[in-house]
Chains A and B, each alone.
Chain A
């Protein structure tokens, strides 16, 4: 546990110190929230939802910022590899699993903090949380998204030589995961060809879970969302740990 804590602590310290990274990664979610939220609020009505589009996408944008931050945190291992720091951890008498779990929890923590910042912004532009319990439910789902996608980032980083592939992953994996999730549109209204894609996207369940926490209504039963997200987090951690075991410094 000490080892996991040491690695978690390093990740959190680095995050808190990189002001430009914190602010930089707030940019896109805020932009989405403001432009889409205000832009479409007056013309889009979500069936079965009393509040406007803004309230609909806030959970989606929170999930987006958790998603992007966590994938990025996971992939950062490549930098540790390039700057030599990874060797320092790999040559220590600790197991790879401990290192991987420390990295995952560190990345998930920073991702949740990043999501919370967006949520606090949202409070100023009209988000009215349904209560403390709902808030905690949302944070729980954010943590599961964080673990899933940090582990996913680590899995990718274990196979990548340098950061060149990062753009590829972002455009062809992460953006589709975000786009296909129900972050920006309700999944009930989707055509039959697209709906299955949405339902195999793990982020959909995360978004629905956060939405349930923040607004009290969701299109997928929160318990189902919880089971799927928890399973994804566990599965990705196992896959990430397996691939990280083979990483070469």
Chain B
């Protein structure tokens, strides 16, 4: 039985279709990533799977329970860390955990023991009696993850777990998440618009754009699927370069603002040829780089846009300033 089985899930708000006929299955113990820009439908998908919103059509099961007809069973099976903070800042870390434990009806002794265990796991046990409002962003996130695990869920939902955190904290969190998955064998579904996060953490990644899944595979396979290596050439005249290079070993050429991205097999053998050809036609090269494709390239390949072009939308900027104000 898959941990999560999604079939033709759809959600519309009026004219807008936020999630459009999405299907996928997540195996038990897997770390699964939904990668896409803001507004792609990631959070809406998570909201439906966690019973916070009703699907317009389609079905899904979580841990074998239908998300519409068996809401409470689904809720008992999942832990969730929302995109926006959901802690009570006027309570201590311990009290936040305790409140959660009571909501999920964990008996007293067991509750105390698990809270201590989890707070140790996320490295907050020394500060457990401090009010959450004195916590940093990273500590809050860790507390929320610990809280999400308190009732021993089969599936953990992480909605943009590292949004708005500094790189160091982000690295730490990634380690925690990876360890959780290894030690507890818990199934994790996370949404992100950070390529690196998806790449490092996820066994499989679904690239979601405008409400549909455009590609789904392991990060390795996704990168291999778009063909060999990536050569990026920055130049004053990218159009000319794109027109010039027509050799059969080039799998694709794309242009965006002042640069050309070429995909090809065995780049190291062909680079001299490319440079010579460009040089001979008198076009300048500002810079040239050869690399293995990243998920960024995969995203670009499937959607025709870079994820950053839509990276910081108004909504995100608003949310970030909102958070900053709260601290």
The residues of A with any CB-CB pair to B shorter than 8 Å are 2-3, 5-6, 9-10, 13-14, 17-18, 83-94, 249
Contacts and interface: CB of A to CB of B under 8 A. Distances in A.
Contact of A91 (B52, B87, B88): B52
Interface stretch (B27-35, B99-107, B193-201, B249-257): B99-107
Contact of B50 (A17, A18, A91): A91
Main secondary structure of the interface of A (DSSP, over half): helix
Contact of A92 (B73, B90, B104): B104
Interface string B79-107: 01010111111110001000110111100
Interface string B265-286: 0000000000000000000000
B127 interface: no
A2 B104 CA distance: 10
Contacts of B100: 88, 92
A22 to B, nearest CB: 13
Given A90-B52, A91-B80, A92-B75, A6 B103 contact: yes
Given A3-B103, A9-B99, A85-B88, 15 more contacts: A10-B99, A13-B95, A14-B90, A17-B90, A83-B88, A84-B84, A84-B85, A85-B87, A87-B52, A87-B82, A88-B100, A88-B103, A89-B103, A91-B80, A94-B103
B241 to A, nearest CB: 49
A2 B105 contact: yes
Interface in B97-130: 99-100, 102-105
B76 interface: yes
23 contacts: A2-B102, A3-B105, A6-B102, A6-B103, A9-B99, A10-B91, A13-B90, A13-B95, A14-B88, A14-B91, A17-B90, A83-B88, A83-B326, A85-B86, A85-B87, A86-B86, A87-B86, A88-B88, A88-B100, A90-B52, A93-B71, A93-B72, A93-B75
Contacts of A14: 88, 90-91
A17 B99 CA distance: 16
A59 B91 CA distance: 34
A16 to B, nearest CB: 10
Given A2-B102, A6-B99, A94-B103, A84 B76 contact: no
Size class of the contact patch on chain B: 20 to 34
A18 B102 CA distance: 23
A5 B105 CA distance: 11
A89 B302 CA distance: 39
Nearest to A14: B90
B51 interface: yes
Contacts of B84: 84
Interface string B119-160: 000000000000000000000000000010000000000000
Contacts, number: 64
Contacts of B80: 91
A84 B80 CA distance: 13
A87 B159 CA distance: 13
Nearest to B102: A6
Given A10-B99, A84-B84, A93 B90 contact: no
Contacts of B86: 84-88
A13 B88 CA distance: 11
Contacts of A13: 90-91, 95
A92 B88 contact: no
A249 B103 contact: no
A93 B91 contact: no
The 10 closest A-B pairs by CB, nearest first: A6-B102, A93-B75, A84-B86, A92-B103, A88-B86, A93-B72, A84-B84, A93-B76, A87-B86, A14-B90
Contacts of B91: 10, 13-14
Contacts of A93: 71-73, 75-76, 104
B88 A10 contact: yes
B46 to A, nearest CB: 11
A93 B95 CA distance: 19
A89 B45 CA distance: 20
A240 B105 CA distance: 25
Most B C-beta atoms less than 10 A away, residue of A17, A86, A89, A91:
A91
B89 A83 contact: yes
B155 to A, nearest CB: 13
A89 B103 CA distance: 8
Contacts of A84: 82, 84-87
A189 to B, nearest CB: 46
Contacts of A91: 50-52, 75, 80
A249 B85 CA distance: 13
Nearest to B78: A91
Nearest to B79: A91
A113 B84 CA distance: 34
Given A2-B102, A6-B99, A13-B95, A18 B90 contact: yes
Contacts of A92: 75, 100, 103-104
